[in-house]
């Protein structure tokens, strides 16, 4: 049976791009263009390969994110690692097994259909032979296209798929060597880049005499408004950078929104507008219905990675090697080569894990900082470590968003019309997008490289600002308007879930408002307006998990539960969340229930961990996070000014995986963000009897809403 090939196989069609048999060592080397960023992807992909090859995972080695060896699978983003990368690996391994069985059939003089494999050994009519993969792999030509025709092994063949296999990346992390920050190369030197907290600022003057004279300082390098110090030790680089920072005068060019509400400053910016008539444009207007409207917002968000960005680079013998926690090593390689005037073949980029990466944070910028300095100082590895202030002010941000919704309930209390307007900046300006490097240092050079003209990912492929702006509810008339803000006051790009977090928060909060207006239990209201059986199943499952008793909860008593639901991107995993909140001195979330349908589950622990992580990050966005500005500077440059959820604030979380082994695996890493925010918002509204529509939902905003 021929299956449609995932994008990764269309781009990298040859089987030997994905695996290689080392017969002498009796090992299989796997190659993945997706990378490990804490989501457990490499464990899941190795699990898939072991299952399809009928081997133990102990016999597999996996290489990922290396431009010399791994296939170019583009970005590790969009919850595609298992859905696309894992499916590609499964097809490749299934074909490899089929080819090896064909080779064994010739030696055993037995028809292929009578041969199976267990632990790499061939069985004939279920009886062991003396032949293994390692005896026949040398006869097989693996340089052939993957066709998608090879049969998959049955999921229950060995019980490996769906099991909580231990994570491959944890031993190194627990031993203190798992992150790029831990990498120590021979003769390595250290660099710090001096940057202001005002975007687009330019250097007017700098006095670097004292910094150059410091013991251990190797060089002070300036290129336009890019300024860095290189020293023998990290401490030497840090102290020299602090001195340089004091002696550098900047011209601040930014025009930031200050303390104005997002709902005021964002819609006031120039927009590029587009209307999508999703369905029902030819239907007559609803008569006799009730119309409702509301406006929701989220602020500019920082990635706030726990480990500030880090990059290492070495120029030696005409070749540049870069180590980075970038999610797109190939596009980064291409732009490094382009800016430094090198051939792509002369630049090798290796992925290493970073301590916090979920979107376009400072990883690419730190890697280019290191590459540029290594190009200027060949022969020694250069390590660039960003500071906390750098990470919170110089990394790309997640765009602020404003969502206006309106809907009409018909006489039966069902949703008849829905209109949504979304104001948002770009959600992807990664290196190479729209033909420009999009690397911070290149914009600081003189003359600067231009940033790409902002553009959003196409709506048809999931969108950016419009991601999840269309819900799964059965609404006859649906109209969507996108107000794309091209000229944002700060650099914005991809942050986990892109626009889905805000859009689902708005949609699911408004669904609760409509349910209240209709006098219907919010769970029942959702089920009344949903026909998708998998959607209905997760909503029903989470209500069952939480023991949902909506009518038993009094409004305004300070404790309540709320629900949120979405299918990520409208075509990935389904998720429904119920949150229980308690209002005392502040807002605390005491319990979260989450039901997930992501099709075939590969690693149950890995998937649960991903969902839990998404819930926790969403709680932090929902209750605490938001970048603050004055007219020229970013003010939230430390944990005091940009607080995130603490360990003591994490609620009890219960996740139920609704395994559907007959369905393909679906992207799940970002599914929980929006439903969690909506569930908390809806619970707060019921607990207090007032609704907060602007994120984050803080004590002050609750008090303001209660006073209106």
Give the pLDDT confidence of 223-236 residue by residue, as tens digits: 999 999 999 999 99
**pLDDT tens by residue, 608-641:** 999 999 999 999 999 999 999 998 999 999 999 9
**pLDDT tens by residue, 233-281:** 999 999 999 999 999 999 998 889 988 999 999 999 999 999 988 888 8
Q: For domain 7-161, is the CATH number 3.30.365.10?
A: yes
Rounded to whole angstroms, the Cα distance separating 548 from 527 reads 14
The alpha carbon of 638 is separated from its chain's Cα centroid by a whole number of angstroms, namely 23
- pLDDT band, residue 536 (cuts 50/70/90): very high
Residue 382: phi, psi to the nearest 5? -115, 130
Q: For domain 183-252+309-385, is the CATH number 3.30.365.10?
A: yes
Q: Is the Cβ–Cβ distance between 439 and 460 less than 8 Å?
A: no
Rounded to whole angstroms, the Cα distance separating 334 from 250 reads 31
Helix (H) or strand (E) segment spanning residue 446: none
**Structure-token match 């009886």, residue found:** 127
**pLDDT tens by residue, 327-351:** 999 999 999 999 999 999 999 999 9
Q: Is the Cβ–Cβ distance between 408 and 417 less than 8 Å?
A: yes
pLDDT at 273: 96
Mean pLDDT of 207-230: 96
- pLDDT band, residue 185 (cuts 50/70/90): very high
Domain ranges of the chain: 7-161, 183-252+309-385, 401-427+463-707
CA distances from 264 to 303, 337, 528, 695 (A): 24, 42, 36, 14
Same fold, 7-161 and 401-427+463-707: yes
Strand extents, DSSP E, 568-651: 574-583, 587-597
pLDDT at 3: 84
Please tell me whether residue 170 adopts helix, strand or coil conformation: helix
Q: Outline where 602-652 has alpha helix (H).
A: 604-623
Please tell me whether residue 139 adopts helix, strand or coil conformation: helix
Helix (H) or strand (E) segment spanning residue 409: strand 401-409
pLDDT at 71: 95
pLDDT at 552: 73
pLDDT at 1: 62
- pLDDT band, residue 156 (cuts 50/70/90): confident
Q: In what order do the strands lie in the sheet with 415-424?
A: 272-279, 477-484, 415-424, 401-409, 290-298
Q: For domain 401-427+463-707, is the CATH number 3.30.365.10?
A: yes
Rounded to whole angstroms, the Cα distance separating 317 from 68 reads 17
Helix (H) or strand (E) segment spanning residue 290: strand 290-298
Please tell me whether residue 115 adopts helix, strand or coil conformation: strand
How many of the other CB atoms lie within 10 Å of CB of 259? 10
pLDDT at 356 over 80: no
Q: Which of 423, 397, 359, 358 is nearest to 492 (CA)?
A: 397
**pLDDT tens by residue, 642-653:** 999 999 999 999
pLDDT at 458 over 90: no
pLDDT at 163 over 70: yes
């Amino acid at each position: 049976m021929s299956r449609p090939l995932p994008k990764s196989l269309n781009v990298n069609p040859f089987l030997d791009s994905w695996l290689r048999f080392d017969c002498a060592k009796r090992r299989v080397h796997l190659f993945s263009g997706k990378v490990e960023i804490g989501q457990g992807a490499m464990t899941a992909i190795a699990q898939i390969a072991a299952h399809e090859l009928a081997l133990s995972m102990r016999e597999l080695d996996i290489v990922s994110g290396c431009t010399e060896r791994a296939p170019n699978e583009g970005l590790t983003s969009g919850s595609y690692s298992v859905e696309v990368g894992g499916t590609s690996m499964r097809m490749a391994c299934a074909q490899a097994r089929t080819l090896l069985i064909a080779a064994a059939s010739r030696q055993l003089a037995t028809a292929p259909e009578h041969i199976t494999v267990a632990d790499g050994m061939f069985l004939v009519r279920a009886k062991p032979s003396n032949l293994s993969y390692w005896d026949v792999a040398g006869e097989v030509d693996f340089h052939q296209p993957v066709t998608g025709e090879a049969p998959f092994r049955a999921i229950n063949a060995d019980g490996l798929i769906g099991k909580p296999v231990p994570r491959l990346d944890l031993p190194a992390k627990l031993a203190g060597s798992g992150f790029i920050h831990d990498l120590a190369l021979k003769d390595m030197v250290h660099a710090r880049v001096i940057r202001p907290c005002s975007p687009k600022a330019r250097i007017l003057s700098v006095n670097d005499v004292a910094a150059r004279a410091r013991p251990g300082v190797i060089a002070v390098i300036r290129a336009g408004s890019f300024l860095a110090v290189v020293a023998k030790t990290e401490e030497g680089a840090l102290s020299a950078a602090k001195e340089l920072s004091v002696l550098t005068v900047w011209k601040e060019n930014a025009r930031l929104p200050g303390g104005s509400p997002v709902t005021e400053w964002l819609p006031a910016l120039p927009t590029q507008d587009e209307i999508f008539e999703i369905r029902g444009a030819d239907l007559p207007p609803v008569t006799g219905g009730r119309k409702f409207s509301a406006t929701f917002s989220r602020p500019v968000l920082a990635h706030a990675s726990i480990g500030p960005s880090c990059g290492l680079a070495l120029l030696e013998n005409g070749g540049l090697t870069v180590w980075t926690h970038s999610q797109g090593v190939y596009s980064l390689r291409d732009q490094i080569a382009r800016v430094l005037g090198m051939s792509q073949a002369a630049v090798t980029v290796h992925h290493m894990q970073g301590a916090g990466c979920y979107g376009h944070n400072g990883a690419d910028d730190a890697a280019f900082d290191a590459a540029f300095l290594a190009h200027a100082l060949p022969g020694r590895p250069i390590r660039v470590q960003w500071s906390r202030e750098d990470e919170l002010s110089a990394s790309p941000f997640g765009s602020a968003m404003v969502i206006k919704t309106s809907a009409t309930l018909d006489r039966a209390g069902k949703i008849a019309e829905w209109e949504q307007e979304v104001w948002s900046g770009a959600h992807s300006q990664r290196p190479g997008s729209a033909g420009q490097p999009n690397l911070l240092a290149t914009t600081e050079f003189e003359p600067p490289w231009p940033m790409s003209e902002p553009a959003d990912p196409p709506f048809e492929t999931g969108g950016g600002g419009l991601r999840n702006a269309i819900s799964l509810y059965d609404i006859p008339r649906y109209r969507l308007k996108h107000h794309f803000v091209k000229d944002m006051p700060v650099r914005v790009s991809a942050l986990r879930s892109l626009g889905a977090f805000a859009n689902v928060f708005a949609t699911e909060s408004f669904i609760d408002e409509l349910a209240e207006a209709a006098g219907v239990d919010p769970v029942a209201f959702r089920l009344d307006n949903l026909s998708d059986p998998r959607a209905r199943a997760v909503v029903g499952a989470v209500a069952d998990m939480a023991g949902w008793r909506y009518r038993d909860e009094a409004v305004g008593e300070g404790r309540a539960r709320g629900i949120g639901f979405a299918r990520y991107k409208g075509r990935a995993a389904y998720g429904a969340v119920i949150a229980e909140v308690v209002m005392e001195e502040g807002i605390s979330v005491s319990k979260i229930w989450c039901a997930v349908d992501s099709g075939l589950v590969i690693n149950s622990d890995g998937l649960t961990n991903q969902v839990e992580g998404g819930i926790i990050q969403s709680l932090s966005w929902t209750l605490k996070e938001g970048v603050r500005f004055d007219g020229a500077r970013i003010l939230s440059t430390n944990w005091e000014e940009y607080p995130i959820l603490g360990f003591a604030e994490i609620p009890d979380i219960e996740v139920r995986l609704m395994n559907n082994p007959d369905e393909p695996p679906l992207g799940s890493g970002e599914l929980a963000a929006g439903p969690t925010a909506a569930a908390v918002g809806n619970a707060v509204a019921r607990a207090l009897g007032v609704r907060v529509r602007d994120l984050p939902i803080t004590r002050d905003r609750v008090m303001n809403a209660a006073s209106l």
